Structure 1
Amino acid sequence: MATDIIIHDEKDNVGVVVIDKITPKQDCACWIMENDKTVQIQSVDEIQLGHKIAMVDLNEGDTILKYGHDIGKVVKSIKKGEHVHVHNVKTKKW
């Protein structure tokens, strides 16, 4: 099965789309690089190549983990399978 989403670290709560785009309600194959595991997720939104998808439900104030590192905080609740981007995540730097 082809990989649609890459998750770098087991602790990550987002994955990165590695195909042209995923469509709403698409069953996606996710590869966790850290341990060579695969998991499945169904998308909620259309998400373009290079953009993030929520692997779990995230609440306002939660920390986004990508590459095993804190990359920002949730400013609007995100459901599992939804697009994670500037409309619902902000940096903690300012």
Structure 2
Amino acid sequence: MKYIVLSERDNVATALENIPIHSEIQIPLKNNLVKLKQEIQFGHKFALEDILKGDRIIKYGETIGVATCNILKGFHVHVHNLEGTRGRGDKV
């Protein structure tokens, strides 16, 4: 398996190996096919659906941050477009 998704709530998947651009990834848990728009490096996340600026980023069923810009399905999700909220009392 090239990725991990643990919850139907997740809107990102985490790469378990480097995944080339244009790869088509079937996500059975969400009944979803994702065509990657960028290469995704091991340990990094990619969007399983369009995520709008201000939307929560959900990984492993938990909110890990909010989108700082619109992130389209298949794009890389990382510090350039995600503000972390875990462990912060001032963010939900």
TM-score tier, shorter chain, comes to: 0.7 to 0.9
Partner-residue secondary structure (3-state), 2:79: coil
Choose between structure 1 and 2: higher strand proportion: 1
Residue 60 of structure 2: aligned partner: 67
Give the alignment partner of residue 77 of structure 1, picking from 57, 65, 70: 70
Residue 23 of structure 2: aligned partner: 26
CA distance in 1, matches of 2:44, 2:64: 14
Give the alignment partner of residue 7 of structure 1, picking from 5, 10, 20: 5
C-alpha displacement of 1:29: 3.8
Structure 1: 5+ residue runs without aligned partners?
none
If the length of structure 2 is used for normalisation, what is the TM-score? 0.84
Q: Percent identity?
A: 37
Cα 1:4–1:40 change in 2 (3 A) is farther
Cα 1:39–1:60 change in 2 (3 A) is closer
If the length of structure 1 is used for normalisation, what is the TM-score? 0.82
CA contact (8 A) 1:56 1:80 kept: yes
CA distance in 2, matches of 1:57, 1:89: 14
What is the one-letter code of the residue matched to 1:8?
L
Structure 2: 5+ residue runs without aligned partners?
none
Give the alignment partner of residue 81 of structure 2, picking from 83, 88, 94: 88
CA distance in 1, matches of 2:56, 2:31: 23
